[in-house]
Structures are given as structure tokens and as C-alpha cells.
Structure 1
Amino acid sequence: MIPAFHAASALCLLGFLLVPSPALATTETDEAETVDELAQSEEQIVVIGVRQSYRGDFAISEIPQSIDVIDAVTLEENNLIRLNDALDLNASVARQNTLGGLWDSFAVRGFAGDENIPTGYLVNGFNGGRGFGGERDTAGIERIEVLKGPAAALLGRGEPGGTVNLVTKQARIGDTFGTFGAQFGSFDRIRSEADVNLAITDGLSARLIGYVENGDTFRDTVEEYRWGFLPSIGLAIGPDTRITYDLEKTRVEVPFDRGIVVLDGDFDTVPRNRYLGEPGDGDHIARAEGHSLRVQHDFNDRWNVLLGGSIRDTLLTGSSSDPELAVSRQPIFRDGRSLSRQRRSRVYDSRQVVVRGEVSGTFMTGPLRHRILIGADHDEFDNLQDFRRVRPPSVSSNPSEQAAYIIDILDPVYGRFPLPVPLPQNNRLDKQKSTGFFVQDQIELTNRLQVRFGARYDDFSLRTENYLTGVDSERKDDRISPQFGVVYEIADPVTFYAAYSEGFRANIGTDAAGRIFDPEISKSIEAGVKLTLMNGALTGTFTVYQLEKDNVLASDINNPGFSVAIGEARSRGVELDVNGRLPGDIHVRLSYAYVDAESRSSVLDPNFSFVIEPGDPLINIPDHSFNVQASKTFRVAGRAAKLGGGVQYVGERLGATGTDFFLPDHTLFRLFGEVELFDDVTLFGTVANLFNADWYANSYSQLWVQPGAPRTATLGFRADF
């Protein structure tokens, strides 16, 4: 592993791999187009910007929806290199169970989606988060858009709480530049990154982006190795047409880690660094390969078309030793130290194919201006899960420690017993196909009043082939999802908006008996005020909302890989997001959320007899959370410098469905800063969890609790050319 790291680092030094430069990473949060618009000299081609899919020609202030943007500068100054860490900056997003740290999982406004597959997100408008490629790295991301609220009438197949869209760095036509960076952090972590944009001809450019990272973690015996190569090629065919190709090639190697155990509510049962798996299991390996191609053509200054397609393959493989959750098989509840474990193996293989197209334009009907968006998309998702396990016997049979696969949580000795051989538990292929058509018209009734009407038609089929039982299941369904919105500019700095939307999403997979679930149906309503102050230097959004959905699923504890229906759920809350610059060149960012997310049905689990009652909170969703930070730029000995800090608070959360086990609240402080050492060379540093607080990122059970990292420091440099 170490030689491979050195070899990949050498590639970075040669310029084949990335990190963004603040001087080159421009961010625009108030425009429908991305920041890649370059006006060049008269002798060169003038290249149009890369437009956002599903957006149309709208400023964010005109959209009847709450949208928070986390730009590349914010990611860079906080040194946020994982998507889950970056999303902590928005209080409406809550961490969920990450499958031992091997996928991204989060809830927006209290709703998380299917617990048995990673949380979905968009990459440049394509569905990109449902596979098993490991936790997403932020390398190559221009900005993260948290699209909160009712958007199903355009996007389709998403959670009603919102969608995360990752806008990646694109090749810049006619420009050549580069950035190389390296950093060294706590727990012997080393990372190198590079970003090289090459102007091959006046109309053709390639941007080569990549990273490699290796090191220990705060968890005993757990090391991690990852790399990624994320190039982009841009081709301008005249002034009105652009073709963009993006490649994603990534790999993660890390042991599977269920975290710590918490007995009788004592979060000091074991130290937070104690690993309770088995090092002999080796690493889980997650890899992804994705290709996307987009064509954009402007017919004139009022009409344009976007066409695109993507293919993404992912594979997750490995074995693990996980604490047994069934009380009847778990001796730790008797002696407080003997933890029985299951041994599991996984082969999760997925492929997603997406094609889409849209036309947007502007026209007049009398005095009314219409901005219309019409499009269609087709999505195919194949999800193969070969899951195997062997469980310890019942405690009542007085099994030996070897038979129960025991580890002493107070004095762990790894490798005591031969590794049990997992037996087939679930070997299933889910094939989902869905086609959608959407239309949206936003009408300017006056200079200050706009209304939006839209609808989406979805047709889907789901087929499940169970290779163990020989039972094949199939379901087809369709639905129309409407949306309505209004935007009213009360005064130049104050805009009121309101929106209503219905959503529709197929529930992939089956229950343990092979039955396909009814699709998830949602209704969303929100209203808010958007502020633009100090000539646009400071913006803010205040929102109230309520979301409801039926046919909600939760993981079947007794049958991993399967789900159980828990009926209806509701989320309602209040949000405040503020972002911008204050006098004195002080950049501020504030996000607060109150979320009341609860079950609305009564459910009795037949295997473990836990009861979900109406009013029970949803797992891992805090009532209150906020994140605030401020930074100031200044000069030291004539050199540019920046210093900043932030605070994150996350309230108490339910830690296991149908129980009274809660994760405690926590408050984390962070510092960051940078200084220009020489021309185009910057030294930077960060300290996360400054006061070394004990905190817990998420949990699934009191025996599967993910502790958060202790104080973590990083020092690095960036060099531009």
C-alpha cells in the first residue's frame, strides 16, 4: 500500500492529479449558469457557460425553493475532503448510517430514503449517488447545492426533503493553469492533489483532476487508502455549441467498522478509538467508474437545448465481523464485556444508465413573459447484492466463546479464533427502469410577481430476481406529480416565495418474503423570505415547511438487505441560511434548522418486537442544529492571509428505531487559516474539534454507534502555476 501511495504521489508531482486554487475557483450562487463562462479576445472563440440541468434561466432569488450553496472556497478553507463532512455546513442535513463508513448517507429535512443503499445525489444533474463507490471525495467539486424542498416535479425520484447536486469543475476552454497541493494531518494522514487545465487548441481543453490519500485513523488498526482521477474535456464548436465529457475513476480501501458499543446509556463503555471488528477480515474495497457526456447548444439568446447521458459502475466487496444485534444471541447484556459477532461478506455491484434532454426558452404572450422548461429523462439502475453471514447461536444454548465469535470489549485480543465462513443470506438482483417527462412554466405577471406551474409524469418498472429462493417479483406503476410556486418581490432586498409539490419514488427491493413495496408518495409545502442586503454582498433565506410521505421503509434488522414498511412519516420545521460578506472583508456563513420528523403510523416488528408509535422521532434526526463560521482576509508582511473559525451544534437524536436510546448533543469548534509564503505558494492549516469533544456521528443500534473524530489537525501547502 505504501509503495502505491508514493507512486501515485509522484504522478501528482508530474501534474496528473488536483486541488482548487482560490484565485481560480470562481463561484456564482445567483446565476443559472455555472462559473465557466470565459470571454476571450476577439480572435478566439467566445465559449458559453455550462448550463445547469433542470434549472432553466433563473437566478436563485427567482426560484420558489430554498437553495444553499457551499462553494469551492468554503470547502478549501475548511479542508473538507468528504461529502458528509461538507454537508455538515448546512443544518438541514443530518448524518445517517454510513454502512461502516463505506457510503454517503444523509437526510435532508428529516427524510433519508432507503437505508439499504447510499443516499442519492446528483452530479451535474445526473443521478450519481446510488452506487457503492465509497464515500464521495470533494476533489473536483466546484460547488455543492443543497436543493431543499419540493422539487419532485422536475427532478423526480428524489426525497421530498431535498436533493444534493454536485457541480464539478469543468475544462476551461482556451486557458492553461494548474494547482498542486499536499497536506499532512493527524494520525499520519498524507494527501496530495493536483488540478491541471490544458488548452489544447482554441476550442478544445482538458482538465486533469486527481488525488491520492493514505494514512491511519483515530480507530485502532483501521487504515485507509483512496485515490481518484476525475478529468474533464471541453470542446467548443463555434460560439453556440459546447460538448463536455467527464470521467470518474475512484477506489477506496478501508476496513469495515461498525464503531463502538454503548451499554446502559454509558457512552464511556469503551474508548472511542476501540475497534471491535476483526483486522484479519482485511479491507473492504469500493470502486467506481463513471462516464458522462453533455451537449449544450444555444439557438439564440432566448432558447437552448441540453442533451446528456451517463453510465456509472460501482463495486463493493469485503468481509467484516459485526456485533450481533439480537438480544437472545448477545451475551454482553449479561456480563457487560463478551460481545458476540456475526461474520459477514458482501459483493454489491451496481450499474446506472441515465439519458436526459431538455429545452428551455423565453417567449411572450401579450404583456406576460414566460420562461419554460420542457424535458425528459430515462434511468436504469441494476443493483446486485450477494450478502452472506454466519450468526452466533442463542445464549440459552451456552455456546463456547469460539462458537459465539466473542471479543472482549474491555480487553480485545484479535485473531483468537478461525474466521467463520459466512453462508448465503441474500443474493438478489433489482432492476429498476423509469422514464419521466416534465414541463415547467414560470410566468411574470408583473415586474415583482411571478408564478410557476409544473408537472412531471413518471413511469417505472421494478423487477427483483432472488437467486436463493428462485422467486422473481415484478411491479409497474406510474404517476403525475404536480408543482406550483409563487415568487413576489416585496421590495428590492426582500422576496417572498411559496411552493407546493407532490412526489413519487419507487421503493427498490423487497421484503424478506419477496414482496415489492408500494411506491413512496409525498406531499410538500413551504414558504419563505429571501433577503439580499448590502448590494448583494449578503444573502439569506428563512423558510417554514411541512412534508408528508406514505409507504416509508426501514431496514429489516433480522434480514439484512431487506426492508420493512413503517407506513407514514411527517417532517416540519424552520430554517435560516445566511451567507456573504460583511464590512471589513469578513465572510460569514450561518445555517440553523429546527426539524420535527416523526412516524405517523403504529408498527410492531415481528422479529424483535420493537414498537413504532405515532409521534416517535425518526432515527438520527436532531430537533435543533446549527453551523456558523466567520473568516477575515488581511495582509501579513505584504502577503495575503486569512483566519477563521466555526461552531457546529447538533442536538440529541434517536439512536435506534423503536427504542429509547438517544445520542447526546454535541458542540464542535474548528479553526482554519492560510498565508501566502511566496508568489503563488500558500501555506494552510486547520484544526477540527478544537476542544477534543466526545461526539457521535450516527448510530443504528446501541451496539453500532459511530464515534466522531477527536481533535484533528492538518498542515499543507498549495502551489499555483
Structure 2
Amino acid sequence: MKKTTQSETNTIPALQKPISKKLKAAFLLSASLIISYPYSSVVQADTQQSQQVQVFNIASGDLSRVLRQFASKAKITLSFDPALVSGKQSRGLKGQYSIEAGLQQLLEGQSLQVITIDGESYRIENRSSSNEVELPKVSVSGDYIDETGLGPVSGYVAKRSITAAKADIPLIETPQAVNVVTADEIEIHNAESLNQVLQYTPGVVPMGADNTTSDGMIIRGFNVTGSSPIYLNGSKLPRNTFSGVSEPYAMERIEVLKGPASVLYGNAAPGGIVNMVSKLPETETKRELKVQAGSFDRRQLAGDFTGALTDDGSLSYRFTGLYRDSDTMTDHVPDDRKFGQFSLRWQPSEDTSLTLLANYQHNETVFVYGLPSQGTVEHNINGHIDRDLFVGEPDFNKFDTRNQTLGYLFSHHINDALTFRQNVIYYNAETDYNDIYIGSLDSSQRLLSRGAYIRHDENRTFTIDNQFEAKWDWGNTEHTTLVGMDYEKNQFERIQYSGNVAALDIYNPVYGSTVLMSNSPARSTAESSKKLGLYAQEHLKIADKWVIMLGGRYDNFKSDTDNKLTGTSSNNDDHAYTGRAGLVYLFDNGFASYVSYSESFEPVLGQGASGVSFKPTEGQQYEAGLRFQPEGAPYSVSASVYKLTQKNVSTTDLVNPKFLVQEGEVESKGFELEAKASLNQWNFTAAYAYIDNEVTKSNNGSEGNRTNNVPRNMASFWTDYQFVNVLKGLGAGAGIRYIGETYNIANTVEAPGYTVVDAVVNYSLSPEWKLALNINNLFDKRYATCSYACFYGVERSATLTASYNW
């Protein structure tokens, strides 16, 4: 092809530089492909449009991907046979180009030509082709998104993730279960908490109904609440359980890695981890405002703004904010929030990127301590306890949290094979917490004994993760080698006072009782810990069929706890080795089968009667699975079976009852199934989980007990549809969630299983305006779960949202 000069095209030439080998074209179809960009007004086909100059900033890479990005940006219809571009690379496009000149530049060096059909339709053929053949068309709806592990997903079906491997690899090549909830799903459900985001995810069970003070949850039968299970953009967010909660509106996607994850992330509960991917800057300008009103006097204003700050797109920003003034189902419990998140990305070249992130969150609410089992899930002679009952004192209770997060994501391609990444997070939080806890009911089953405490927490953490990633080929093998070092420093201080308050008649509550607090603290502690981890991982792909993943890690961790009341201190200095091995086989028809083994550890503070510090708990998982996700298909199905065991679990020392011994063991065996699809205007998700969980070893007679709040069966289904013909602009969706019976901590109280239905109706008034009505618990099902106390599920609630996008 003749090289087009700048004077002939009135363009700025694209950067000329070598590119690294990429994965083969990722959207191969047996038929031809058409890429359509939807927009509100009809563009007249004329020669003027083809000659209009636009600014493009498309990275080099697979030619099929680059062409799709160009078509989306240029708002044209582009058709071609995928076989023509299969395996071909493009240098990308950066600068000002007309449509025809841009296409010619993208095809430079290829034996391909551009055929202009009209001002908005083009076709790519071999240069030797002379037949004008109309290509069969396969429609891809919506704006095309070239998915990355740290970027947005179009629809409900994610194909890539950074969570399982700390590398941007396809999910189908991952030998461990990963569930991804996209921003589109978060929006359609109007999810207000992490628990709501994951309520249609198999094997994930929320801890109680309190979503305002903690992100507590159970994964695969293990409580992950107090074990730093939350990660942000692949880096640990080591906050205390009550130091803050997550804001889903600020997230692009939320991912759950099932099973032990210590090989890459250090200390973690055996059930798994949750990685939240922030909404990050984009060069395309997008602006959104949302106004909400709903049940419990809810009023909320939210906004999301992103775009380029420079003409070449090297500097871009994103701001996401939210203000909420709301009550909750429980009397005298507010859910007020102020949240702001700002990020700034500097990308001076394709090889270097630095993204600065900062957010601030202020929550004003009250901790919902729970209710007695008699009157919630068990019989009470006085009848059911009201779901809105508040067991505290309105002028006393509060839960006021302020937290800030600062950090950055840095990436630099040293050469075509080697990349260095460094991720940093600093987290600071303060919590003022006044609470009234409950005791037992008297013989009348009306009067509930109560106690009180005041607590102030300060939480400061710092994490840094350094990674070197090498992509290299040898023969018919493709390698992604990762080595890294991460460091974590935590400081946590707590001072707590105890108090007394009169009993409460739960069937005729009268508030105003005096809360008498002690003058001296009941507890004053300062805890500090340091953790250093070294890890290595190899992702090996052989002949495009076999994938082998091997990883190993060494951790050293130290902790000190100072008791400021007694002047005593204790410390722990230990280490752990963990590993993971997995094997995947990729079939030609889109199926992939895998087997894997993985390990985890969690430090345990304290000492036994002999004065010897406790050993870390150890998690081990064997897993086998099957995925189905054909290339380019907008749907996926995954199934997995697993056996997960936690050892060194603490139980009571029968010889010295004031101490503990590590003689316990808990085991979960299960099966999980998930299906997702985004087919034009129709989306759906379906999930099922079977969890056979029990204590397998104990010295106190608890063998056979189930972990509290763990159902044996759970299932869910959600579907939504957007009408395009007679009822154009109207959309509707509904979902059903089933959780089987569960038990409290002592396994003495059974909470019956329940089924809840959710629904949504939305209507697009114009391309900019949209209304949505979400109704949770449509049929107002009364249900509860129990742990140390019992918690009602949220009654029927509705939220009306008006969105404006421009």
C-alpha cells in the first residue's frame, strides 16, 4: 500500500514504534462482522462526514480490536471478514485524521484496502478482491468497549480480570472461580452496599441486614469480615471491620475470588477476597447526574464526571460524588452519607501511566445490634417483634465514621516484554461509636436487658505493592511471569468505656432512660503490625490449549499489642509459606476445564496457657471447574466443585478454660453454578450454590455444627429487558433470591429459609433523561438471620431515580 503523506491527508502521522506481540484476535466469528455505533440523531451520508477531521488516541495492538475502537469513535459502520485481520497487528492511531485517512493509516503495511460504501459505511477487503459481495452482518449493540481488567465492562459478562492473577488475563484461562459484578448490574439493582452488589452471586452470604456500618459477608462457608478481605484495584485495603464501608456507585466492577488467595495477597480468610475496581479516568467526556427519592425518607444526589483535560488525552480526570440524607427500616437509625472520589491520570505515552486517587467518606448512622430470637425466628407469647424496633436510646446511640483514602496506580512498559507496576494506598479512619447492646428477655418475654458502651477507634494503614511482569514466548508457549513484593503497615487504637441502662419493653418501647457511663475506660489498646510478602507466579499457555499456573509466596509478619491500662504488651513474630497450582484445558468450542490447589493463612493474636504464641490458621482448597465462553460470545457459564479446609482453629482449652488451644478444624464442600448473558436488549444472571459446611474437629463437642449464617442451598435469578419497538424506551426487570435455613453461632437457633423478589421499571425519556423505579422485597417477605443475635431482612422498599447523562 502506498504510504499516505501528511500533505495529502492533512493529518498528523501516528507514532512509529515497535509493538509487542499481543493475544490473537479476540472476536473471531464464523461470519463477517459489522460494528455499529448507536447515536441519537441520523447522520446524512455524504462526503463531508468522511472528510471531517477528528482526534484519535487508539493504542497499538490487535488489528481487529483497533478497528472496532476506531469505528466506535468515528461513529461509522465498518464491515469485514474476521479472517482477513486474524493475527494481524496495528500501530494504532494518535492525532487528527479524517475517517478515510484514519482507516488507511490503521491498515498501513497490510494487504488490505478500504471500500467506501457511503459517508458512514465502509468495508475492508483484500487488495486483490474485485467482487462487490455484500457481507453477512452480525450486530454488536451498544458502544464497543475494549475490555481490560481495570476498565469498564459492556453489559453483565466480563471476560478479563486482574483479581485472580494480578495480571490482565482472560477469565477462561483462570484455574479458580471468579465472579464479576459489573457497573451495569450495580446500576440496574440500585445497589447501595457491597452486600447488595453481591446478593445475586453464588456462595456469598451477607452478615445480617446491617449494610451501614460493615461490609461483613461469608464466602464459601467462611466468615471473611475481620480478615481484611477487601481490595481496591488489586491492592489490599486493610481497614478494621468498623472503620468504613464501600460505596458501590464509585466502582466500575466488583470481583470475588473464591477460595484461598494468600499466594498473591498475603493473609486472608480461606473463603476468598473481594476486589473493587474504581471508576477511573477516561478520555471520552461523560457526565451524569442522579437524583433519588424513596422509602424511609430517602433523598440522594449523585454525580459522575470524566474526560480529557488536554487535547491529546494525556491528562484525564474523574470525579464521583454522592450526598445522601435518609432513614432506614429501623426507627432512629439514619443512613446519611457524604462521599467524594477524585482521580487524575497522566499518560505521557503508551508506555507510561500514573493515576492518582483520593476519596473522602463521612457516614452518620447507628449500629443495629440485633434482636432476640424469641419474636423473630422463634415463638414469643407476645407475638412478632416489629421490624422497625430500635433497642437503643435515640439521644445516645451513634456511629459516626470519617475516612480518607489516598494512593496511586503506576505502570511503565520498560520494553516490549517487561512491565513494572507500583500500587500504593494510604487509609485513615476515625469512628465514634456509642452503642447499647442487648442481653436476655425476662420471664414475660417483654423486658429486654441492656448494657452500653462508648468507643473511639483510629485506624491508619499503608500498603505498597511492587510488581514486575514479563510476557515472553518460547516455541509454541506463551509466558506471563510475575514477581512482586508487597508491604503493609497497620496502626489501630481503641479506647472504650462501659455503662448501664434500664431494660426496654420491646412491645411497648419507651425511650429516655439515663445511660450511666464509667469515668475510667474499660479498654485502651494500641495495636501495630507490619507484613512483608515476596511472591512469584508463572502463567504458561501451551499451543493455545493448555494453561498452567504456578505460584508461591513467603510472608513475614510482626505485631505488637499494648494494653495502656495495665502497661503490659504482647507481640507476635511469625512467617508463612503458601502456594497455588492450577491446570486449564481450552477446547475449540469455547469450553475450558480446570483443576487447582490453593493455600491461605491468617495470623492469630494471643498465646496459649504455655505462653507460646498461636500459629496462623491454614486454609487449603481443591477445586475443579468448567467454563463455557466462546470467543466473542456475550454470555458465559461457569461451574465449580471444591473442598475447602481451615486448620489451627482456636477452641477452648479444657485443662485451662481461660485459654484457647488450636485443635479445631472447619470444612466446606460445595458446588457453584453461574450463568450470565447480555443479548442485545436482554440481560440475565442465574446462580446456585450448595455448601456442606461443618466443624470437623473440636475438643468441646461442637463437631458437626455449621458455621452461623451458612445455608446449605442458595439460588438466584435476575433478568431485565429493554423494549425497542412498540414500547420503545421502556425497560423492566425482576429477580428472585432464595437462601436456605441457617443457624446461629451456637447452633441452637434455626432461622428458616426465605425467598425474596426484587423488581425494576425504567423509561428513557430521551437519550439524556432516564427514570427508574426499583422495588426490593416486592412482596414484603418477613425473614431474619441469626448469629449472636437475630436480624430482620429489610422490608419492602422503593427508590425512584432520575438520571441525566450528557
- Alpha-carbon deviation of 1:563? 9.2
Structure 2 residue aligned with 1:394: none
Structure 1 residue aligned with 2:132: none
Structure 2 residue aligned with 1:663: 751
Structure 1 residue aligned with 2:222: 111
Q: Judge conservation of contact 1:647–1:667 (CA < 8 Å) in 2.
A: yes
Structure 2 residue aligned with 1:222: 333
Letter of the structure 1 residue corresponding to residue 704 of structure 2: G
Q: Deviations over 1:592-614 (max 9, x none)?
A: 1111122223244xxxxxxx511
> Are residue 278 (structure 1) and residue 393 (structure 2) matched?
yes
Q: Judge conservation of contact 1:381–1:431 (CA < 8 Å) in 2.
A: yes
Unaligned stretches of 5+ in structure 1? 1-21, 24-30, 325-329, 392-403, 557-561, 605-611
Structure 1 residue aligned with 2:719: 630
Structure 2 residue aligned with 1:19: none
Q: Deviations over 1:422-472 (max 9, x none)?
A: 753322222121111111112223331121211011111111111122221
2:777 aligns with one of 684, 689, 700: 689
Given the superposition, is the C-alpha separation of residues 509 and 72 from structure 1 closer, same or farther in structure 2, using an over 3 Å criterion?
Answer: farther
Q: Judge conservation of contact 1:473–1:516 (CA < 8 Å) in 2.
A: no
> Are residue 506 (structure 1) and residue 614 (structure 2) matched?
no
> Are residue 675 (structure 1) and residue 771 (structure 2) matched?
no
Structure 2 residue aligned with 1:253: 364
Distance 1:520 1:44 in 2: 58
Structure 2 residue aligned with 1:619: 708
> Are residue 88 (structure 1) and residue 199 (structure 2) matched?
yes
> Are residue 266 (structure 1) and residue 379 (structure 2) matched?
yes
Distance 2:291 2:555 in 1: 46
Structure 1 residue aligned with 2:278: 168
Q: Judge conservation of contact 2:623–2:643 (CA < 8 Å) in 1.
A: yes
> Are residue 298 (structure 1) and residue 408 (structure 2) matched?
no
- Alpha-carbon deviation of 1:44? 7.1
Q: Judge conservation of contact 1:551–1:566 (CA < 8 Å) in 2.
A: yes
Q: Judge conservation of contact 2:645–2:667 (CA < 8 Å) in 1.
A: yes
Distance 2:211 2:512 in 1: 20
Q: Judge conservation of contact 1:481–1:502 (CA < 8 Å) in 2.
A: yes
Letter of the structure 2 residue corresponding to residue 592 of structure 1: Y
Q: Deviations over 1:102-131 (max 9, x none)?
A: 111011111114x6x475210101212523
Given the superposition, is the C-alpha separation of residues 42 and 491 from structure 1 closer, same or farther in structure 2, using an over 3 Å criterion?
Answer: closer
Q: Judge conservation of contact 2:651–2:698 (CA < 8 Å) in 1.
A: no
Structure 1 residue aligned with 2:437: 322
Given the superposition, is the C-alpha separation of residues 181 and 311 from structure 1 closer, same or farther in structure 2, using an over 3 Å criterion?
Answer: same
- Alpha-carbon deviation of 1:554? 8.7
Distance 1:387 1:98 in 2: 25
- Alpha-carbon deviation of 1:255? 1.9
Structure 1 residue aligned with 2:95: 43
> Are residue 484 (structure 1) and residue 573 (structure 2) matched?
no
Q: Judge conservation of contact 2:327–2:334 (CA < 8 Å) in 1.
A: yes
Q: Any idea what SS the aligned residue of 2:196 has?
A: helix
Equivalences for 1:323-342 in 2 at 5 Å? 323-324=438-439, 330=440, 332-342=441-451
Letter of the structure 1 residue corresponding to residue 488 of structure 2: D
Structure 2 residue aligned with 1:11: none
Unaligned stretches of 5+ in structure 2? 1-37, 40-61, 74-92, 98-105, 107-145, 151-161, 654-658
- Alpha-carbon deviation of 1:673? 2.2
- Alpha-carbon deviation of 1:133? 3.5
Q: Deviations over 1:232-254 (max 9, x none)?
A: 11111222111001112001101
Distance 1:357 1:418 in 2: 50
Structure 1 residue aligned with 2:126: none
1:145 aligns with one of 241, 245, 255: 255
- Alpha-carbon deviation of 1:509? 6.5
- Alpha-carbon deviation of 1:369? 2.7
Distance 1:259 1:138 in 2: 25
Q: Deviations over 1:546-570 (max 9, x none)?
A: 11112335999xxxxx999672211
1:496 aligns with one of 579, 593, 596: 593
Distance 1:651 1:277 in 2: 30
Structure 2 residue aligned with 1:716: 801
Q: Judge conservation of contact 1:57–1:360 (CA < 8 Å) in 2.
A: no
Given the superposition, is the C-alpha separation of residues 429 and 671 from structure 1 closer, same or farther in structure 2, using an over 3 Å criterion?
Answer: same
- Alpha-carbon deviation of 1:64? 0.5
Q: Any idea what SS the aligned residue of 1:263 has?
A: coil
Higher relative contact order (CA 8 A, sep 6+): 1
1:58 aligns with one of 159, 169, 173: 169
> Are residue 356 (structure 1) and residue 501 (structure 2) matched?
no
Equivalences for 1:195-594 in 2 at 5 Å? 195-201=304-310, 202=312, 203-263=314-374, 265-266=378-379, 268-324=383-439, 330=440, 332-390=441-499, 405-421=502-518, 424-508=521-605, 517-533=614-630, 535-552=632-649, 567-582=664-679, 585-594=681-690
Given the superposition, is the C-alpha separation of residues 510 and 708 from structure 1 closer, same or farther in structure 2, using an over 3 Å criterion?
Answer: farther
Distance 1:187 1:449 in 2: 54
- Alpha-carbon deviation of 1:385? 2.3
Given the superposition, is the C-alpha separation of residues 42 and 490 from structure 1 closer, same or farther in structure 2, using an over 3 Å criterion?
Answer: closer
> Are residue 699 (structure 1) and residue 795 (structure 2) matched?
no
Given the superposition, is the C-alpha separation of residues 529 and 617 from structure 1 closer, same or farther in structure 2, using an over 3 Å criterion?
Answer: same
Q: Any idea what SS the aligned residue of 1:130 has?
A: coil
- Alpha-carbon deviation of 1:514? 9.7
Distance 1:342 1:73 in 2: 44
Distance 1:368 1:339 in 2: 68
- Alpha-carbon deviation of 1:504? 1.9
> Are residue 156 (structure 1) and residue 266 (structure 2) matched?
yes
Given the superposition, is the C-alpha separation of residues 305 and 44 from structure 1 closer, same or farther in structure 2, using an over 3 Å criterion?
Answer: farther
Distance 2:754 2:709 in 1: 13
Given the superposition, is the C-alpha separation of residues 622 and 586 from structure 1 closer, same or farther in structure 2, using an over 3 Å criterion?
Answer: same
Given the superposition, is the C-alpha separation of residues 509 and 694 from structure 1 closer, same or farther in structure 2, using an over 3 Å criterion?
Answer: farther
Q: Any idea what SS the aligned residue of 1:195 has?
A: strand
250-259 or 68-77, larger mean C-alpha shift:
250-259
Structure 1 residue aligned with 2:300: 191
Q: Any idea what SS the aligned residue of 1:600 has?
A: strand
Letter of the structure 1 residue corresponding to residue 317 of structure 2: A
508-517 or 128-137, larger mean C-alpha shift:
508-517
Equivalences for 1:3-14 in 2 at 5 Å? none
Given the superposition, is the C-alpha separation of residues 491 and 93 from structure 1 closer, same or farther in structure 2, using an over 3 Å criterion?
Answer: same
Q: Judge conservation of contact 2:649–2:663 (CA < 8 Å) in 1.
A: yes
Distance 1:185 1:135 in 2: 21
Letter of the structure 1 residue corresponding to residue 786 of structure 2: S
Q: Judge conservation of contact 1:631–1:643 (CA < 8 Å) in 2.
A: yes
Q: Any idea what SS the aligned residue of 1:292 has?
A: strand
Q: Any idea what SS the aligned residue of 2:560 has?
A: strand
Distance 2:614 2:396 in 1: 34
Q: Deviations over 1:149-184 (max 9, x none)?
A: 2432122212222111000100113x3221000111
Structure 1 residue aligned with 2:730: 641
Letter of the structure 2 residue corresponding to residue 618 of structure 1: T
Structure 2 residue aligned with 1:608: none
Distance 2:605 2:188 in 1: 39
Given the superposition, is the C-alpha separation of residues 384 and 674 from structure 1 closer, same or farther in structure 2, using an over 3 Å criterion?
Answer: same
Letter of the structure 1 residue corresponding to residue 521 of structure 2: P
Q: Any idea what SS the aligned residue of 2:263 has?
A: helix
Give the TM-score taking structure 2 as reference length.
Answer: 0.76
Q: Judge conservation of contact 1:430–1:509 (CA < 8 Å) in 2.
A: no
Structure 2 residue aligned with 1:128: 237
- Alpha-carbon deviation of 1:67? 1.0
Given the superposition, is the C-alpha separation of residues 537 and 297 from structure 1 closer, same or farther in structure 2, using an over 3 Å criterion?
Answer: same
RMSD: 3.0
Letter of the structure 2 residue corresponding to residue 302 of structure 1: A
Q: Any idea what SS the aligned residue of 2:95 has?
A: coil
Distance 1:640 1:247 in 2: 37
Given the superposition, is the C-alpha separation of residues 662 and 422 from structure 1 closer, same or farther in structure 2, using an over 3 Å criterion?
Answer: farther
Q: Judge conservation of contact 1:150–1:500 (CA < 8 Å) in 2.
A: no
